A and B are shown apart, each in its own frame.
Chain A
Amino acid sequence: MNKIARVDLTKREVRVQGLDSELVLNYIGGRGWGAKILWDEVPRGVEPFSPENKVVIATGPLTGTYFTGTGKTTLSSKSPLTGAYGDSNVGGRFGVELKQAGFDALIIEGMSVEPVYVKVFDGEVSVEKADHLWGLGSIEAEEALKRELNDRSASCLTIGPAGENLVYFASITSDFGRQAGRTGIGAVLGSKKVKAIVASGSMDIPIYDVDSMIEVAREAYEYCFKNEGQRAWIRQGTMQLILWSNENSALPTRNMSEAIYEKAEMISGDAMESKVKIGNHGCFGCAMPCGQISKVKEGKFAGTVVEGPEYETAAMIGSNCALNSIEEVVKLNRLCDELGLDTISTGSVVAFAIECKRRGLLKEVEADFGDVDGIIRLVEDIAYRRGIGGLLAQGTKRVAERLGGEAVKIAMQIKGLEISAYESRAAPAMALAYGTCDIGAHHNRAWAITYDIKVGRTSYTPDKAKWVIYLQHVRSLFDMLTCCRLPWVELSLPLTYYEELYRAVTGIDRKFDDLLLVAERVYNLTRCIWLREYPYMDRSWDYPPPRWFEEGLPLGPFKGVKLDRESYGRLLDEYYRLRGWDRNGRPTKSKLRSLGLGFVVKELEKLGVDLSEE
Chain B
Amino acid sequence: MMRLDVLEDKCAVCGVCELTCALTHFKANNPKKSAIRAEMWVLKDDVRIRVRVCRICEEKACVKACPSGALRFNGQRIEVDGALCTLCRSCASACPFGGIFFHKELMVPLVCDLCGGDPQCAKMCPMGALRVVKP
Contacts and interface: CB of A to CB of B under 8 A. Distances in A.
Given A295-B46, A304-B45, 19 more contacts: A66-B20, A100-B30, A100-B31, A100-B32, A142-B42, A143-B41, A201-B32, A202-B30, A202-B103, A202-B105, A203-B30, A206-B29, A210-B27, A278-B47, A281-B47, A282-B12, A282-B127, A285-B19, A305-B45
Given A100-B32, A202-B103, A284 B47 contact: no
| Range, interface on chain A | 35 or more
A64 B30 CA distance: 8
Interface of B: 9-10, 12-16, 19-20, 23, 27-33, 37, 39-42, 45-47, 49, 103-105, 124, 126-127
Given A286-B14, A288-B126, A305 B29 contact: no
A10 interface: no
A492 interface: no
A283 B104 CA distance: 26
Contact of A210 (B23, B39, B103): B23
Contact of A285 (B14, B46, B103, B104): B14
The 4 A-B pairs with the shortest beta carbon distances in the complex, nearest first, are A282-B14, A289-B12, A303-B45, A282-B12
Interface of A: 64-66, 71, 93, 96, 100, 139, 142-143, 152-153, 175-176, 201-207, 210-211, 213-214, 218, 221, 224-225, 230, 234, 278-289, 291, 293, 295, 303-305
Nearest to B98: A152
Majority secondary structure, A binding face: loop
B126 A282 contact: yes
Nearest to B16: A285
A175 B41 CA distance: 10
Contacts of A225: 126
B23 A214 contact: yes
Contacts of A153: 32, 37, 39
A66 B30 CA distance: 9
Majority secondary structure, B binding face: mixed
A152 B124 contact: no
Contact of B29 (A202, A207, A287): A207
Contact of A305 (B30, B37, B46, B127): B46
Given A152-B39, A210-B23, A281 B32 contact: no
B29 A286 contact: no
Nearest to A143: B42
A254 B95 CA distance: 55
Contacts of B30: 100, 202-205
Nearest to A122: B104
Contacts of B10: 279-280
Contact of A281 (B27, B29, B33, B40): B40
A210 B29 contact: yes
